[in-house]
Amino acid sequence: MAVRMELSRILIRELTDMQLIELREVADDATPADDVRSFPIVIGLPEAMAIERRLKGIQIKRPQTHDLLANVISTMGGELVSITINDLSDHTFFATLDVKMPDGSVQHIDSRPSDAIAIGVAESVPIYVEEHVLEAASKDPQPEGDPDDDQGDDEGEAQNEDE
């Protein structure tokens, strides 16, 4: 089962390659504040800057990669309806862009969470995290992590912000 989450904060440290976003569970009125779960994801600087720019509604003269993909989805008749973080394996998060097609079907397009969030944040697209991912992210040890690991993924494991 997927849990609705929200981007609760973004931490940009320009002197390092590792930036952080934190996702927090969207709780209803009956959920005590202490029971709300959250976890950070290490991302790269370009993705962090794109998320921040799109959150603030800063317009630029030419589309960046995330703007381009959002434009392609829209131009082809699709609508980004949600983002789902669906796996955590070897300290790497996996996600999908959930795109509703003109025929009503929903396509789940493989994506890094940071790219998916950068695309969806400007449109206030809901973010979901599968329960098993949320549980694993809160139990995993806090490694050093490198956003540019051997697979080219920029999604590292949760890190303490005090490092």
The 10s digit of each residue's pLDDT in 111-154 is: 999 999 999 998 899 999 999 999 999 775 544 444 434 334 44
Q: Is 152 helix (H, G, I), strand (E, B) or coil?
A: coil
Single-letter code of the amino acid located at 93: F
pLDDT of residue 140: 56
- Report the phi/psi class of residue 139: left, alpha or beta, with left for phi > 0 and alpha for psi in -120 to 50: alpha
Domain containing 17 — which CATH number?
3.10.690.10
- Cα–Cα distance measured from residue 147 to residue 144, given in angstroms and rounded to the nearest whole number: 10
Query: What tokens does 135 get?
Result: 């549980």
Domain that holds residue 128: 2-139
pLDDT of residue 156: 44
Residue 54 lies in a domain: yes
